[in-house]
Amino acid sequence: MKNIKIFDTTLRDGEQSPGASLNIAEKIQIALALEKMGVDIIEAGFAIASQDDFKAINKIAGKIKKSTVCSLARAKKEDIEAAYQAIKPARKKRIHTFLATSDVHLKYKLKMTKTQALRQIEKMVKLAKDKVDDVEFSPEDGFRTEPKFLFKAVEVAILAGATTVNIPDTVGYATPREFGELIADICKNVPNIKNVVISAHCHNDLGMATANSLAAVKNGAGQIECTVNGLGERAGNAALEEVVMALKTRKDYFKSVTNIKTKEIATVSKLVSNLTSISVQPNKAIVGANAFAHEAGIHQHGVLSKKETYEIMEAEDIGLKSNELVLGKHSGKHGLAYRLKNLGITLDKKQMKEVFERFKELADRKKKIYDEDLLALISDQLKTEEQKYSLELLQVVCGNKTKPMAMVGLKDSKGKNEEISVIANGPIDAVYRAIDRITKNKAELLEFSIKAITSGKDAQAEVFTKIRKNKRIYSGYGASNDIILASAKSYLNALNNSL
């Protein structure tokens, strides 16, 4: 069996998903959960992109012990220096540097000749290698690069010290056979390829990212770059849960294993969905709500007689348990801390104190607290960090004999309070209009969805919203037993993200 390294780029390419934006506290929790799941390399961000990105990578580097922490860097001196400074505290560090090599990128984006590109690759990989042992090079738009030039670029990068060469299908154009053949051709035509790991980085524009990544494995790749829930630029990247479960379920065919503890997949998927405020489609492979549901009578009958008739994996393989009771009103701090640790959540003292208070409030209102409730509570709590506006007051009157009215009070980061009452067509309309008035916001509400987190009439609700502001899209998440309160938090979160 070959060991395939899992390189997770949820915090870098994943964060480039339209609407996704994570604060530093959220990024840290995701990194810790990825490490607990067994991810080999965590691409924690793009250090030069912003001060927040730099800070997040730097903090993650200080906390992660087992996984390698990586920062992306263009093949530029200042990027490589920033990447190095950001990952410096990590036990295992990697710099991932890239330069586009396709004709269209060289001519129109970089305005470089091929000779100049090769020189730049050599110089910048060498510079990265002077700083860390573990250097990854990506010829961006590799799949659309003229093959001979791609082989040369890869050879030059290896000679300069790259230890992993990543072949991106940047625009999601490849088909599985072609991508597999390209990897096989690289193995044949690059003289020094045996000294390094070949990696695949596939985008999902035509829905083939997972298939292309697996074709790469079949033809010699030893690393797959992927994201949780398939998040990423445009249609996203190859989904971690799909590539990992495909390799596990079809071990007979791929003859490969990964270090991923698959029982963590469901929890990490939910955490990432809550924190990015991007919900998972119900029919999404592996982690969608319907992925293990059998609706047709003929299927149900088959599964009851013999599981294998219609099931190729078990829900337990990805850690799905049916609503296991975890905590209640009488649970204490230790019980809560134990459950959180099991979920891969590590909080500092102050955060733990706040979360415990909220847990107690929730337990007063809801008899049985499940893991899903805890993930919602943590996500909701993390979202209150680094926000410009916080919700101080919410009162709503509505019903069939009255005009819906909301009273909303917000506090801004300077401590200024403002309260306002609004009458509108519905209670949520009234709340959102009140928030808009206080914040002087001009966003358009594009999406609003509400879901019960668990079963039961006392279940918490989670609300996902999407807004458009200045031509950009922002997402929000909120959870509470009170659906209007969850709706208010979600909208305010999207709005705060836009600020």
Name which of 36 and 96 has its Cβ closer to ligand KIV: 96
Euclidean distance between CA atoms 41 and 199, whole angstroms:
12
* Residue 221: both structure tokens together: 């790749």
Site string for ligand KIV, 85-114 (x = CB under 6 A): -------------x----------------
At 83, give phi and psi (nearest 5°). -60, -45
Residue numbers 416-435 binding ligand KIV by CB under 6 A: none
Instruction: List the one residue out of 492, 489, 486, 484 whose CA is nearest residue 426.
Output: 484
140 binds, among ligand KIV, Zn ion, none (CB under 5 to 8 A by kind): ligand KIV
CB of 447 to Zn ion, least distance (A): 25
Helix ranges (DSSP H) in 72-175: 77-87, 103-104, 114-131, 147-160
Helix, strand, coil % in the chain, rounded to nearest 5: 45, 25, 30
Euclidean distance between CA atoms 41 and 132, whole angstroms:
15
368 binds, among ligand KIV, Zn ion, none (CB under 5 to 8 A by kind): none
Pairing of strands 405-412, 389-397: antiparallel
- With the C-alpha atoms ordered 398, 403, 404, 408, is the resulting torsion angle positive or negative? negative
Name which of 36 and 203 has its Cβ closer to Zn ion: 203
CB of 451 to ligand KIV, least distance (A): 31
The β-bridge partners of 164 are 136, 197
CB of 232 to ligand KIV, least distance (A): 8
3-class state of residue 41 by DSSP = strand
Euclidean distance between CA atoms 279 and 418, whole angstroms:
32
> 7 Cβ partners below 8 Å, 6+ apart?
39, 40, 41, 43, 70, 166, 199, 223, 224, 225, 226
Name which of 13 and 373 has its Cβ closer to Zn ion: 13
Inter-axis angle of helices 265-276 and 24-37, nearest 10: 170
Residue numbers 169-198 binding ligand KIV by CB under 6 A: 170
Name which of 89 and 176 has its Cβ closer to ligand KIV: 176
CB of 364 to ligand KIV, least distance (A): 46
Residue numbers 258-297 binding ligand KIV by CB under 6 A: none
242 binds, among Zn ion, ligand KIV, none (CB under 5 to 8 A by kind): none
CB of 21 to ligand KIV, least distance (A): 18
Name which of 5 and 203 has its Cβ closer to ligand KIV: 203
138 binds, among Zn ion, ligand KIV, none (CB under 5 to 8 A by kind): ligand KIV
Name which of 71 and 480 has its Cβ closer to ligand KIV: 71
14 binds, among Zn ion, ligand KIV, none (CB under 5 to 8 A by kind): none
Name which of 13 and 373 has its Cβ closer to ligand KIV: 13
CB of 166 to ligand KIV, least distance (A): 6
Name which of 205 and 482 has its Cβ closer to ligand KIV: 205
Residue numbers 118-177 binding ligand KIV by CB under 6 A: 138, 140, 166, 168, 170
> 241 Cβ partners below 8 Å, 6+ apart?
228, 229, 265, 269, 285, 286, 287, 318
Name which of 166 and 256 has its Cβ closer to ligand KIV: 166
Name which of 122 and 205 has its Cβ closer to ligand KIV: 205
Burial of 407 (0-12, 13-18, 19+ CB in 10 A): middle
At 367, give phi and psi (nearest 5°). -65, -50
3-class state of residue 183 by DSSP = helix
Euclidean distance between CA atoms 343 and 371, whole angstroms:
8
Largest alpha-carbon pair distance within the chain? Answer: 79
Binding footprint of Zn ion on the chain (CB under 5 A): 13
CB of 340 to Zn ion, least distance (A): 32
The β-bridge partners of 167 are 200
Burial of 115 (0-12, 13-18, 19+ CB in 10 A): exposed
Residue numbers 198-227 binding ligand KIV by CB under 6 A: 201, 203
Name which of 32 and 42 has its Cβ closer to ligand KIV: 42
Owner of token pair 């469901």: 266
Euclidean distance between CA atoms 55 and 416, whole angstroms:
28
379 binds, among Zn ion, ligand KIV, none (CB under 5 to 8 A by kind): none
Residues lying near ligand KIV in the complex (CB under 6 A) are found at: 13, 72, 98, 138, 140, 166, 168, 170, 201, 203
